[in-house]
Amino acid sequence: MAKREPSVTTERFTTSQLLEIDACTRCGECLNWCPVLEEIQEETFIPEGREGMTDKQKEDFSPKNKITVMREMFNKGYGLRAKIFGPRQIPENDILKFRDELYHCTTCGICSTVCEASLNTVELWESMRANMVKHNRGPFGKQTGFVKLLESHNVFAADQEDRLCWVPEDVEIKDKADIAYFTGCTAAYRMQRVGVATTRVLNALNIPFTMLGPEEWCCVSVLIRTGQLGLAKEFVNHNVNAMVDKGVKTVIYACAGCHRTSIIDWPKFYEGGELPFEVLAISEYMDRLLDDGTLSESDFDWKHPLKQRVTFHDSCHTGRHVGVFDEPRRIYNMVPGMDFVEMARSREMQRCCGAGGGIKAGVSDLALKMAQKRVKDAELVNADIITSTCPFCRRNIMDGINSMDTKIIFKDQQEILAEAMGLDLTVPQNPYTDKQL
Amino acid sequence: MQEYYSGLEFWTMTVVSVVTVIALIGGILFQMKKWGLGSAGYGKPGQGGSIIAFLKLLWSQIFDKKHKQGVITTLVFDILLQRRILRRSITRWVMHITIFWGWIMLFLFSMGIFVVELLNKVGVYHADVHPLVENFPTVMLLDEVFSYLLLIGVLIAIARRLFITEVRESTMFYDVVLTGGLFIIVITGFISEGIRYHGTEHATALTDFWSLGISYPQAPHAALFHVVISLLFCVALIPFTKYIHIIATPLSILAHGGGE
């Protein structure tokens, strides 16, 4: 008789991650912070097929319970009893139930921030998702479409030749430069105003930069977040090599998702290991130039003071995941006239907007509820504008705003800078003009 | 019972200790083999249960130069002082820090007494001539202090599981083994100490309370019971129960540079 295989294998987990699963003390702190669990507990969102859950059943969606289930599943396959008597089989329905719980997560990482055992929960969820995909159990809902979309090398199945179709004629982009601006799919095809603002600001500050244009492929954040790793290596190597070909030493980002993926995930897939260039959020780069004297505040040449109350939504990706908190605030605080105010939950304790981790595509009604909650956070501090450094947060928060009766508007950091500097944000007519979000 | 002064019958204890050490080391090796099934890096193939591979990756992560704080800082603030718990909940921090230090210090004292026992056995130290209580009053006092610290921590843990609804409802057998095991060990420890002093010149109202009225002749049996279940519950079962977090959690914190 053939030896039984464990129902859930350890594939896609590192040795340290398997240790981490046993390190969870089940203290329950993550239950106080998980934004998805909050929506489920308040019943503002009910997962499909889970109507009428008891309070205890709702906790199945908590980080603590996900780790407990992972530990139990691995022990059934690899524990002492399994070694002696063979792996205990887990009903496929139980695994699929867990799969659904696993994918109801924005991978915002607040559970990791508050974890007593310092578990890197985001990486645990992503490894488990990759394991699910490997065994044809994942991903979830519309997330299955990402791979097909990326055949075009961007998440909108758009023409790669149009990558720079939004760039105004008078914006100067070098063929080769030390600095490269990685636009990201969203700014290139759906939020071109952010792209225009970023390039205008860089030009105005006399920072020479290059862009990859059609050679810029998706950063593969959507694939990695949902466990679909098949294309990751090809895309990462393409992007890194394209940067090397242009002689780039520093890549700057106005998209938090691309930024996080490049700095944390790309080295895992790049065949050369460590990236041959530096990865920085654009605010980090500006902060550095201000520190070393390359830039001074007067270089910004402010034209229009912003006489509004502005609150900053730290994106999970650039904030909690990468640890960039002070630099964007320094940039905002230079804008004349701005009344900058913090929401009750900010910096590393920020509340996720709900867009990440494949939730926007996979569980869009949950994403909307979370966005509404973040808008309410901004209303509580009487903000006129919510700002961020992430086009994906922007998209979801704007969906939240549009579904509510609120006067708050959203503006990207680069838009705020460009407007205050009196720069022209007109986006040239292009095939995607009527698709702008 | 023979050769009793600290409560132990030498050969019984030797056998139990050997069994405990075998279970502990064997269990840890088994767990490390399980952890070693993972890969050396994201997306890489598994390593077939290699203990060496597990230790290698763990070592490289602990001493990763990308950590914002040094290993010593992490060790002192995040493990020994448990700063991460303190930031989130004072109650949970008091509970855990008292259990942590109570457990560690009592473990060290027990090891010390075991060494004295061995010295007595080989005739280097004469416990009957130099009883521990008279010769090491500071140690005995500290033993008392850390015992009560442990008791306070365990009682808070039990109270949380009994009286905080959400904690009670999410409690499972995995949690009960840890808290329940500690409770049994700490209570039997106090009782065996109470019996040991009962009717002697060292007896106090408190030790008489813990003695449950049982007199000194029963002390060796009570002490033996306490020590045997302590070793089996608190040490031998570490790799196979929630006690594993005693090993896994500090390693996880070190591997992530304290999570900062």
Tens digits of pLDDT across chain A (437 residues): 456 889 999 999 999 999 999 999 999 999 999 999 999 999 999 999 999 999 999 999 999 999 999 999 999 999 999 999 999 999 999 999 999 999 999 999 999 999 999 999 999 999 999 999 999 998 988 888 898 999 999 999 999 999 999 999 999 999 999 999 999 999 999 999 999 999 999 999 999 999 999 999 999 999 999 999 989 999 999 999 999 999 999 999 999 999 999 999 999 999 988 999 999 999 999 999 999 999 999 999 999 999 999 999 999 999 999 999 999 999 999 999 999 999 999 999 999 999 999 999 889 999 999 999 999 999 999 999 999 999 999 999 999 999 999 999 999 999 999 999 999 999 999 999 999 98
Is B75 near chain A, with CB under 8 Å?
A: no
From the list A424, A392, A435, A434, the residue with the least C-alpha distance to A167 is A424
pLDDT above 70 covers a percentage of chain B that reads 93
**What are the residue boundaries of the structural domains of chain A, listed by start?**
15-138, 152-435
Binned at pLDDT 50, 70 and 90, residue B6 comes out as low
**pLDDT above 50: residue B1:** no
Rounded alpha-carbon distances, angstroms, from residue B109 to B6, B95, B105, B140, B149 = 12, 21, 6, 9, 14
Identify the pLDDT of residue B4.
Answer: 47
Rounded alpha-carbon distances, angstroms, from residue B183 to B96, B179, B238 = 14, 6, 16
Using the beta-carbon criterion (under 8 Å), do A16 and B174 form an inter-chain contact? no
Using the beta-carbon criterion (under 8 Å), do B38 and A18 form an inter-chain contact? yes
- The nearest alpha carbon in chain B to A21 belongs to B248
**pLDDT above 50: residue B62:** yes
- Residue for token pair 């994106």: A315
From the list A67, A68, A46, the residue with the least C-alpha distance to A58 is A46
* Residues 6 or more apart whose Cβ sits within 8 Å of residue B150: B98, B99, B102, B103, B106, B182, B186
pLDDT in tens, B83-112: 999 999 999 999 999 999 999 999 888 888
Identify the pLDDT of residue A223.
Answer: 94
Using the beta-carbon criterion (under 8 Å), do B251 and A19 form an inter-chain contact? yes
Identify the pLDDT of residue B42.
Answer: 78
Chain A positions touching B255 (Cβ under 8 A) are 16, 19-20
Token pair listed for A314: 């730290």
Identify the pLDDT of residue B201.
Answer: 82
A96 and A137 in contact (C-beta within 8 Å)? yes
Is B58 near chain A, with CB under 8 Å?
A: yes
pLDDT in tens, B200-232: 888 889 989 999 989 888 888 888 888 888 888
Identify the pLDDT of residue A272.
Answer: 85
Identify the pLDDT of residue B2.
Answer: 38
Chain B: closest CA distance from residue A425 (Å)? 39
- The nearest alpha carbon in chain A to B46 belongs to A11
**Structural domains in chain B (count):** 1
Chain A positions touching B243 (Cβ under 8 A) are none
The answer regarding whether domain A15-138 maps to CATH 1.10.3470 reads: no
Chain A: closest CA distance from residue B173 (Å)? 12
A32 and A64 in contact (C-beta within 8 Å)? no
Identify the pLDDT of residue A3.
Answer: 66
The angle that helices A413-420 and A192-204 make with each other, rounded to 10 degrees, is 50
Query: What ipTM did this prediction achieve?
Result: 0.89
Number of residues that make up chain B:
260
pLDDT in tens, B239-249: 999 999 999 99
Using the beta-carbon criterion (under 8 Å), do A118 and B258 form an inter-chain contact? yes
pLDDT in tens, B131-180: 666 677 788 888 889 999 999 999 999 999 999 998 998 899 999 999 99
Number of residues that make up chain A:
437
| CB pairs A-B closer than 8 Å | 131
pTM: 0.92
Using the beta-carbon criterion (under 8 Å), do A79 and B34 form an inter-chain contact? yes
pLDDT in tens, B25-57: 999 999 999 999 999 887 788 999 999 999 999
Using the beta-carbon criterion (under 8 Å), do B31 and A22 form an inter-chain contact? yes
Q: Residue A272's Cα: distance from chain center in Å?
A: 24
DSSP for chain B reads --S-SSS--HHHHHHHHHHHHHHHHHHHHHHHHHHTTSBSSTTSPB-TT-HHHHHHHHHHHHT-TT-SS-HHHIIIIIIIS-HHHHHH-HHHHHHHHHHHHHHHHHHHHHHHHHHHHHHHHTTSS-TTTS-HHHH-HHHHHHHHHHHHHHHHHHHHHHHHHHH-HHHHHH--HHHHHHHHHHHHHHHHHHHHHHHHHTTSTT--HHHHHHHTT--GGGHHHHHHHHHHHIIIIIIITGGGSGGGHHHHHHHHHHHTGGG-
Domain with B197, as residue range(s), is: 10-20+68-259
Chain B: closest CA distance from residue A375 (Å)? 26
* Residues 6 or more apart whose Cβ sits within 8 Å of residue A403: A368, A372
Using the beta-carbon criterion (under 8 Å), do B175 and A26 form an inter-chain contact? yes
Using the beta-carbon criterion (under 8 Å), do A120 and B256 form an inter-chain contact? yes
Interface test with B, best of A9, A16, A53, A78 (most B CBs within 10 A): A16
Is B153 near chain A, with CB under 8 Å?
A: no
Residue from the list B37, B253, B258 with its beta carbon closest to the beta carbon of A18:
B37
Chain B positions touching A268 (Cβ under 8 A) are 41-43
B193 and B207 in contact (C-beta within 8 Å)? yes
First-to-last alpha carbon distance for chain B, in angstroms, is: 54
Is B46 near chain A, with CB under 8 Å?
A: yes
Using the beta-carbon criterion (under 8 Å), do A55 and B169 form an inter-chain contact? yes
B2 vs B259: which has the higher pLDDT: B259
**Residue B128: how many CB atoms within 10 A of its CB?**
9
A214 vs B233: which has the higher pLDDT: A214
Chain A positions touching B259 (Cβ under 8 A) are 112-113, 115, 118
